[in-house]
Structure 1
């Protein structure tokens, strides 16, 4: 299983826009990406400008399809101007799951 963890921070005042863009990707994943095993989005309860995603893929090809999708391109087109800093991405091989 391939995974991506991401930490994103919205500029103050842009939290709702980033949240909506992330949820649009999640909806696309649910409807169109059967090999994306999980796509989780969280918003920090202590800092509403900070979001995290945890993404699980059946294999590297599924991850590549997701990353190359129109939904991800739309997300970054929306998010890029409202991000506060760089997106932190960790791509990994899952070694344990419950």
Structure 2
């Protein structure tokens, strides 16, 4: 399993726009990406400008398809002007998971 964790911080006052853009990606993934095993979006309880995604892919091909998709390109186009700093990305191989 390949995973990506992303930490994204929006400029003050842009939280709703960022949340909606992330949820648009999540809805697309749910409807169109069967090899994206999980796509989780969280908003920091202490700093609502900070969002985290945790993405689980069956393999590198699935990750590449997701990252190269039109919906991800549209997300970054919308997010770029409202980012407060760089997006922190960690790509990893999952070692353990508890499935619900």
TM range (shorter): over 0.9
Shift of 1:3: 0.2
Q: State the partner residue of 2:97.
A: 97
Q: State the partner residue of 1:79.
A: 79
TM-score, normalised by the number of residues in structure 2: 0.98
Q: State the partner residue of 1:28.
A: 28
Across the aligned residues of Structure 1 and Structure 2, the Cα RMSD in angstroms comes to: 0.3
1:4 aligns with 2:4: yes
Runs (5+) with no aligned partner, structure 2: none
Cα deviation code 1:70-89 (max 9, x no counterpart): 00000000000000000000
**CA distance in structure 2 between the aligned counterparts of 1:70 and 1:87, rounded to whole angstroms:** 19
Runs of 4 or more above 3 Å deviation: none
Q: State the partner residue of 1:16.
A: 16
Shift of 1:21: 0.2
Shift of 1:32: 0.3
TM-score, normalised by the number of residues in structure 1: 1.00
Task: Number of aligned residue pairs: give it.
Answer: 98
Alignment partner of 2:24: what SS?
helix
**CA distance in structure 2 between the aligned counterparts of 1:90 and 1:77, rounded to whole angstroms:** 20
